[in-house]
Amino acid sequence: MRCFLSKVWAKQSDIAREAGVSLATVDRVLNGRSGVNVQTAKKVWEAIDRLQGQNIKIQKVAHKPLKLDVVLPDGSGSFLNLLAERVAVIGEELLRDGITVRTHRVPSFAPQILAEKLREIGKTNTDGIAVMPLEDPFVREAVNNLCDQGVPVVTLVSSLSTQRTIGHVGLNNRAAGRTAAHLVALHLQGKAGTVGLFKGSHSLIYSDHQERELGFVTALHEYAPQLKVSNSWEIQNDHEAAYKHTCEIIKKDHDILAIYSVGSGLRGIGQALIDCNRQDDIVCVGHDLTDYSRELLLNGTINAVIDQDVNQEARNALRLLILQHRGSENSHPLGDIKTEIYLRDNLP
């Protein structure tokens, strides 16, 4: 993560020898890639400090200390908790560069509370905000006001219809929805029937959910016109609501062949399929590899998970904010967010 903050003059071979780690580990640390724990990364940077002596120390002093804020929805969703965890870990790494990262959790699907939190942070000494926004007028106005005040804002995971933010970090959600439809079509191999669609909320929507739903419905019509979306259920990203509605759809819709979960809820859907003894004949596709979805993949309850690299998302969002204050012509460009399709057979 630190490679774009401080120029490193020492040779990687010298750093590896000084820190007692491999060249591959040094390369991962310098380029901000995952796979290195905090303790090992600390050893690498301490080795760099020793090798480069006062040069880096002088450079650190020249940098203004920064305070960055990250605002994420609260709730029981494993993905959001994992994202918050990665932000915290990266925040610990950034402390050595004089950067403090403060994480805030607000209720999901509560636009006025989110807008108030953004206004509250804007009155502090923040140097930038990364936020997972709701597409809502209150939130959009709060973000625009921050940008007008000169506070850099990055949208994270879910985007917002405003041109004033400095950037967005997230995957191509319409493509992710289309991918889910393609996976359903491949698993059902020409069978005719209905598909259940589970989403967060119709009126208070995160743009990533909206784009996935649009991509899924469009691609399902192309790849499997004999399959119809029978209905959609709003579960507010709550696994208990997902469980309840899955049991209802199984009981009422005898043509149900597949379920697609746009956001959180796979835990509840999977348990309902097991309890109703339908885990073997209803195809289930969803998002984000968590402890729960991993277990459901392994026991065959769900068929595929489309995963996004939360570590890269957290790093890129913070990096965009830092570059507003410490960027240079030599700063490395941000890469696209990595996505993976996981089946039971290729789990990492």
pLDDT category at 203 given cuts 50, 70, 90 is: low
Q: Check pLDDT > 80 for residue 34.
A: no
73-77, 160-164, 329-333: least confident range: 329-333
**Can you name the CATH fold of 64-169+310-335?**
Rossmann fold (3.40.50)
Which tokens belong to 173?
A: 């959600």
69-78, 85-94, 203-212, 234-243: least confident range: 203-212
Could you state, in order of their start, the residue ranges of all structural domains in the chain? Answer: 1-62, 64-169+310-335, 173-308
74-78, 237-241, 337-341: least confident range: 74-78
Q: Which CATH number fits domain 173-308: 3.30.2270.10, 3.30.70.270, 1.20.1070.10, 3.40.50.2300?
A: 3.40.50.2300
Task: Provide long-range contacts, Cβ within 8 A and 24+ apart, for 85-88.
Answer: 86/310, 86/311, 86/313, 86/314, 86/315, 87/314, 87/318
The pLDDT assigned to 1 comes to: 39
The pLDDT assigned to 2 comes to: 43
**Can you name the CATH fold of 1-62?**
434 Repressor (Amino-terminal Domain) (1.10.260)
Average pLDDT over residues 299-325: 94
Average pLDDT over residues 170-174: 91
The pLDDT assigned to 56 comes to: 46
What are the C-alpha distances in Å from 242 to residues 74, 97, 180, 248? 17, 43, 18, 10
Q: Check pLDDT > 70 for residue 57.
A: no
113-137 pLDDT, tens digit per residue, is 999 999 999 999 999 999 999 989 9
- Fold: same for 1-62 and 64-169+310-335: no
62-66, 96-100, 128-132: least confident range: 62-66
